[in-house]
Chain A
Amino acid sequence: DSGVTQTPKHLITATGQRVTLRCSPRSGDLSVYWYQQSLDQGLQFLIQYYNGEERAKGNILERFSAQQFPDLHSELNLSSLELGDSALYFCASSTGTGNGYTFGSGTRLTVV
């Protein structure tokens, strides 16, 4: 167990639907990062939150949004889903000093 918890582990949904992925960071970590990994691809950075505030944005679609709550857990919302959104979505956390990033086990999203 890495200490970063992601739920659900698997999600199957239809095109056009909306889903929410949840991430609880490792205890004491203030930064949360979301990454997308499409089939046989590398990890693409989506968005970062630090202590409740958006800190950095990567290649995140307008249909996607995220937030970090006061208890530091984060949610990634994906709407108007398309077949191409099928991917592994990872959450990572860190203290915010750049010293060591820990990844959750991922959520595998399948859009049918």
Chain B
Amino acid sequence: GIQVEQSPPDLILQEGANSTLRCNFSDSVNNLQWFHQNPWGQLINLFYIPSGTKQNGRLSATTVATERYSLLYISSSQTTDSGVYFCAVVYSGNTPLVFGKGTRLSVIA
């Protein structure tokens, strides 16, 4: 099946710093989503981005489908950005999301 690899596995940032999280996937995908899991366990959808670039406040994401990777940018990080960031892909239409193992981000004040 399709493989999803995220890097780095762990990241510690000082508040105010910028970061880039990467997601590589092994095959063509129909859909790609980035999620943030907060310390209370909630999964929050950040971006639905099968291709192209999107921005939402301090977060932005870029997916280069032809090269099978996606990047999540976090600028001016805040302590509330802490948690685990997951990339998940769908191989074709009506199939389950396949998740990467996540990047655990800790933002220190």
Contact = CB atoms under 8 A, between A and B. Distances in A.
A99 B92 CA distance: 10
Contacts of B31: 98-101
Interface stretch (B16-24, B39-47, B51-59, B69-77): B39-47
A94 B93 CA distance: 10
Q: Most chain-A Cβ atoms within 10 A of its Cβ — which of B30, B45, B94?
A: B94
A103 B35 contact: yes
A79 interface: no
Contacts, number: 60
Interface in A20-60: 31, 33, 42-43, 45, 48, 50, 55-56, 58
A88 B41 contact: yes
Given A42-B86, A42-B101, A48-B96, A105 B42 contact: yes
B97 interface: yes
**For chain A, which range describes its interface: under 10, 10 to 19, 20 to 34, or 35 or more residues?**
20 to 34
A73 interface: no
A110 to B, nearest CB: 13
Contacts of B41: 88, 105-106, 108
Chain A to chain B: the 8 pairs with minimum beta-carbon distance, closest first: A98-B93, A98-B30, A103-B43, A96-B94, A43-B99, A45-B96, A42-B101, A98-B31
15 contacts: A31-B94, A33-B96, A43-B97, A45-B96, A45-B97, A48-B96, A56-B96, A98-B30, A98-B95, A100-B31, A101-B88, A101-B90, A105-B42, A106-B43, A108-B41
